[in-house]
Structure 1
């Protein structure tokens, strides 16, 4: 992070968050999300993006325990080592360069429920919380089963 961070900034609730541009495949309008029974509340279902089935995570549900209305949202399509996924956010508004000296570690990183918050960008009149999607997908309850479900669905597509 010596050179800083190029990140996609998005809104959830009234706050701004960012994810490294290296993890972002695309920003999409939400199309059809297919519900799957027994998924965690933060996952409204799966969707197809560029021919690939991906789980949809509702970031507003994860952070604030309230679902986003699909018509009022955008989807950030992300890639992690384990899987691709779509994160439903209120708005994805810009790509910015954050200088390394503006990135501050946060004390809450040790708190298990928010360990995916890696730092905060302190800009002139904004605070932007930086999220690591790798840690996010590892820390959410139920994600292991979801990774297995997506792998199984992909293998059935191939056969």
Structure 2
């Protein structure tokens, strides 16, 4: 099985979306998300996953401008070229091997609000929108500020570890 032909399928709102398996670090229960004031509305806060501090975003908020309860969903931890982040989704339920020829390009990619949609997986009884995590992260308003904040937090954590090595 080729990892390039696999995707994690998840729900947000009533739709199905996919992210290539190669970008997925883990799927977690969203816990201990610390809200951070002054960040964009789609940012739920920060959490630690496997010792790494990651920003957590509400994917439903990005798509539909409304939020779903993080407690009821799943946290998909992604790596992108820019940073690792967690996206809260309604449900992450399967890893799909994408059949040859099932992934097609969509004409809506040119639309500025959906440029992170890289294609549609066209199956017999379902359509699943494929997401490019690199383009998604780059398209988020305020991402530079979030990156700067993450760098500052990582520096603070390093300094605290040096000053308090027993913690």
Q: TM-score, normalised by structure 2?
A: 0.91
Unaligned regions of 5+ residues in structure 1, if any? none
Conserved? CA contact 2:4–2:21, under 8 Å:
no
Deviations 1:17-54 (A, max 9, x none): 00000000000001111000111111111111111110
1:1-159 → structure 2 map (5 Å cutoff): 5-159=5-159
Per-residue deviation, 1:5:
2.2
How far, CA to CA, are the matches of 1:100 and 1:111 in structure 2?
A: 27
Unaligned regions of 5+ residues in structure 2, if any? 160-167
Query: Following TM superposition, where does structure 1 have runs of at least 4 consecutive aligned residues deviating by more than 3 angstroms?
Result: none
Per-residue deviation, 1:75:
0.3
**What SS class does the counterpart of residue 101 from structure 1 fall into?**
coil
How far, CA to CA, are the matches of 2:46 and 2:105 in structure 1?
A: 33
From the CA coordinates, give the structure whose radius of gyration is larger: 2
> What do you get for the CA RMSD once the two structures are aligned?
1.4
Conserved? CA contact 1:10–1:92, under 8 Å:
yes
How has the CA–CA distance of structure 1 residues 143 and 126 changed in structure 2, closer, same or farther, with 3 Å as cutoff? same
How far, CA to CA, are the matches of 1:151 and 1:133 in structure 2?
A: 20
How far, CA to CA, are the matches of 1:4 and 1:145 in structure 2?
A: 31
Conserved? CA contact 1:4–1:97, under 8 Å:
no
How far, CA to CA, are the matches of 1:51 and 1:4 in structure 2?
A: 27
Q: TM-score, normalised by structure 1?
A: 0.96
Deviations 1:85-122 (A, max 9, x none): 00000000000111241111001101111100000000
How far, CA to CA, are the matches of 2:122 and 2:15 in structure 1?
A: 13
Per-residue deviation, 1:83:
1.1
Aligned residues: 158
